[in-house]
Each structure stands twice: as structure tokens, then as C-alpha cells.
A and B are shown apart, each in its own frame.
Chain A
Amino acid sequence: MLKNAIAKSMMRSPWIYHINTGSCNGCDIELVAVLTPRYDAERFGFKLAGTPRHADIVVISGPVTSQSKDRLIRTLAQVPEPKCVVTLGSCPQSGNVFKGSYSVEAPVENFVHVDVAIAGCTVKPEAVIAGLYKAAEILEKKREAMNK
């Protein structure tokens, strides 16, 4: 019963850790906009955590520059299980207009498993909410899989 309750609350209280890997700040602003009174993601329990150790969902924005690739992998390794990775916008998925640059390592899928991809340039706050909600559902499933 406790395990079920834990799995349920997994979905109701996902804490977000945001990594900017060279983003133009467009997606970052939209992610913060999700916490403003107009969209208020906190009503679903979303909260921005200050450290990867507290995070459940890691949100990646930016085309993953060569400098940030190693940091990204190290940060993700610090997140306790179960965790979920969400990419914000086109950049982490493909590199967007930076594609082919000598300093860009996108797509992020080459070295990180991505659970949910939110497309857009930039993403709309509603899409961020929908994407994070989906990630929270995946979290619950992952926790349930851990129970077994």
C-alpha cells in the first residue's frame, strides 16, 4: 500500500531541474513562465529544484555545446532514480539552426536517453505543462516498475 502511495505521489510531486546547454534563453524563459501565476505549474506539484539530487525531471534546453556535454552527462548521473529527461524545443533534439557547428554536439539522444521531447521554437508554456505532465506519468510508471 505504501509502495502504491509512493508511486502515486511520484506523479503528483515532480521536481524539475533545468540545465541550459547553450540555449538562446527563449525556452528557459518559457519554462520559468510555466511557474508564473498565469500558468502556475505548482498546482500539479511542479517545483524548480536547486540541485540535481532533488530532481525528478531534468529539463534540457539548448543545442548541447561541446563544453556543456560533459557537464550534462555528469549532472544527469547525479539525479537519483527514478528520473525523467525532457528536452525543451528543437535545439537539444537536432541542433536547430546551429546544426553542423563545430561546437555543437546535438542531437542529445546520442548520449542521453530522452523520455519526452517537446517541440517548438520556442515552446509554448502550455506545451511545457503538457510535456512535463507526460513526464510525470512516465515517472509513476518507472516507480511502479521499480516496485516489482
Chain B
Amino acid sequence: MILPFLREASKNLFSKPSTEAFPAAPAPAKPNYRGRISYDPEKCVNCGMCKKVCSPAAITTEIEEVEGGQKITYHFDLTSCTFCGTCQDFCDEKAIVLTDDYLMVAENKEDLIVSGSRIKPVVKGKLTCDTANCIYCGLCARNCPEEAITVDRATKSWTVDHDKCIQCGKCISKCPKKVLSFAEPAPEGVIFGEGCVYCGICAKKCPVSAITVDRATKSWTIDRDTCIKCGQCVKNCPKKALSMGPIEE
């Protein structure tokens, strides 16, 4: 009953051992091996999807206000990671890649934390939608990591909760019609409307004398640079011809 083993043993004695020469020669991992995380902060849009799908909560972020924008830092704790690869799958920007580097050996736990940071310039303006061209497909809402956008196709409504929006810009890149943008909000100012009788009350009430009214030539001008948008002119207009609103240049 031990004869097969005997044969095997004597055969092995004179054949080459099947041991891999690992530390001497490199042993590349098999294809699709999920090893050490590599993180490219330049590609990252700070959407936070990876953080949300990570089951052992191995991903942490730090946001720091610095000059010229926000400094966003991502930490991938390899001592906490299960190497499931879900963060890689969910990262649309391909900023997270699980490489085939499996030699994650360290005396210091800090050496096993992959970090990356970049400075994200402050986005001026809020997310706006050109509703004239919007097809209400809802892709923006579906891709929003913070669920700030709601789209109702039936009523053709598109709304965004600006408090929730983190301005990651994901919706903009996903929009098939390219109707989303971080538009600069139109500066508020006094708008000259219809019904003016050129009485000049506004010019008189203006605390900074920004308005000039010429009854003879029927002209109404405002110096936007001096205007402090106090609203006195709008309040005192007897014909309600003035209003506050976005200025169209």
C-alpha cells in the first residue's frame, strides 16, 4: 500500500524540485490579481463613491481649505482593505486601480497606507441646467454620489439641492446633451423696465448717486460700479418700472 509513495519518492529524489525560486527570482502575480491600490489624485473628482462602497471602511478622506481651493486627500488603508476591487469598479474616472503588487510587507503600519492629494480649485457658481435643451433622462441624478439632483421626467422638472451638491462635476461629464454647467450666477442689479416716465425720483433717492436721468433726452443710465444694490430706487419708483434681477449685458 505504500509502494506508490515509494515510487513517487524515489522518482522525486532524482528529479528537479518543483520549488519556485521566489525571493531570488521575481514571481509575477496571475492576471487580474488584486493587490496594492494605486490612486491617481489627478483623475479623482472627489465624488466619494469608493468610500461609500468600501465594506471594511478602508477609505478615508480629508478636505482642507487652502489658498486657491480645497486640498482633498484620500487614504487607502491596506491593512483594512479586503481587496474586493469594488472601489475600482465604481470609480468612473479610473483613479483607483488595484495593481498586481502583492508584496505588502511593512514594519510600520503607516507604510501600508496609500495616500494621494490634490488641490481642487474652487468652483464659482452653482450647478445649473439649461432646461431648454434638457431631455430629462435622469442620468445626472443617477450618477450623483450625494443624490442632490432630482429629475422627474413626467413633469419635466430638474432640481438640485445646492446644500447637498459637492460640485464633483460628475453629472456634467455624464450629461448626454451637455446642458449642465457650473454657471456663474448672474450678478444681481437694478433692471430698467417698461413704464418709466423719467421722473428722476430714483436718481434723487440713490444714496450713491449712481443713477442719472435726463428727462429731455429720455435716457436712464446707471453706473454699475458705484451701485450698491440697496434697492432704494426700486422701492421709490412710482411706476414700478425698476426691479432687482440678473443683469443681462
* Residues of A bordering B, CB below 8 Å: 37-40, 43, 90, 93-97, 99, 107, 109, 114-121, 123-124, 126-127, 129-131, 133-134, 138
- Known A-B contacts A90-B79, A90-B82; A119 and B104 likewise in contact (beta carbons under 8 Å): yes
A91 to B195, CA, bound (A): 76
Closest chain B residue to A124, Cβ basis: B102
The answer on a CB contact under 8 Å between B19 and A99 is no
Closest chain B residue to A97, Cβ basis: B56
A126 to B28, CA, bound (A): 10
* B113 shortest CB reach to chain A, Å: 10
| Residues of chain A contacted by B57 (CB below 8 angstroms) | 99
Q: Check if B99 is an interface residue, CB within 8 A of chain A.
A: no
Closest chain A residue to B109, Cβ basis: A117
Q: Check if B17 is an interface residue, CB within 8 A of chain A.
A: yes
24 A-B residue pairings within 8 Å (CB atoms): A38-B18, A38-B19, A40-B17, A40-B19, A90-B80, A93-B79, A93-B109, A94-B79, A94-B80, A96-B56, A96-B80, A96-B82, A117-B79, A117-B105, A117-B107, A119-B79, A120-B83, A124-B29, A124-B35, A124-B102, A126-B103, A127-B104, A130-B23, A130-B105
* Residues of B bordering A, CB below 8 Å: 17-20, 22-23, 27, 29, 35, 55-58, 77-83, 102-107, 109, 112
Q: Could you say which of B20, B78, B104, B112 has the most chain A C-beta atoms within 10 Å of its C-beta?
A: B104
Q: Could you say which of A38, A95, A107, A117 has the most chain B C-beta atoms within 10 Å of its C-beta?
A: A117
| Residues of chain A contacted by B20 (CB below 8 angstroms) | 38-39
The answer on a CB contact under 8 Å between B23 and A90 is no
| Residues of chain B contacted by A39 (CB below 8 angstroms) | 19-20, 22
| Residues of chain A contacted by B58 (CB below 8 angstroms) | 94
Q: Could you say which of B56, B77, B78 has the most chain A C-beta atoms within 10 Å of its C-beta?
A: B56
- Known A-B contacts A94-B77, A119-B112; A129 and B23 likewise in contact (beta carbons under 8 Å): yes
The answer on a CB contact under 8 Å between A120 and B102 is yes
| Residues of chain A contacted by B105 (CB below 8 angstroms) | 116-119, 127, 130-131, 134
The answer on a CB contact under 8 Å between B112 and A126 is no
The answer on a CB contact under 8 Å between B23 and A121 is no
* A21 shortest CB reach to chain B, Å: 15
| Residues of chain A contacted by B107 (CB below 8 angstroms) | 115-117, 134, 138
The answer on a CB contact under 8 Å between B18 and A37 is yes
Other than the given A38-B20, A43-B19, A120-B83, 11 more pairs (CB < 8 A) read A37-B18, A90-B56, A90-B78, A94-B77, A95-B80, A99-B56, A117-B105, A119-B81, A119-B112, A124-B102, A127-B102
Closest chain A residue to B111, Cβ basis: A117
Q: Could you say which of A39, A40, A90, A99 has the most chain B C-beta atoms within 10 Å of its C-beta?
A: A90
Closest chain B residue to A93, Cβ basis: B79
Closest chain A residue to B101, Cβ basis: A127
| Residues of chain B contacted by A107 (CB below 8 angstroms) | 79
| Residues of chain B contacted by A109 (CB below 8 angstroms) | 109
A12 to B112, CA, bound (A): 27
Pick the contact of A126 from B56, B78, B82, B102 — CB < 8 Å? B102
Nearest 8 CB-CB pairings of A with B: A93-B79, A119-B104, A94-B80, A124-B102, A40-B19, A131-B105, A119-B78, A121-B82
A118 to B82, CA, bound (A): 13
The answer on a CB contact under 8 Å between A129 and B22 is yes
| Residues of chain B contacted by A138 (CB below 8 angstroms) | 107
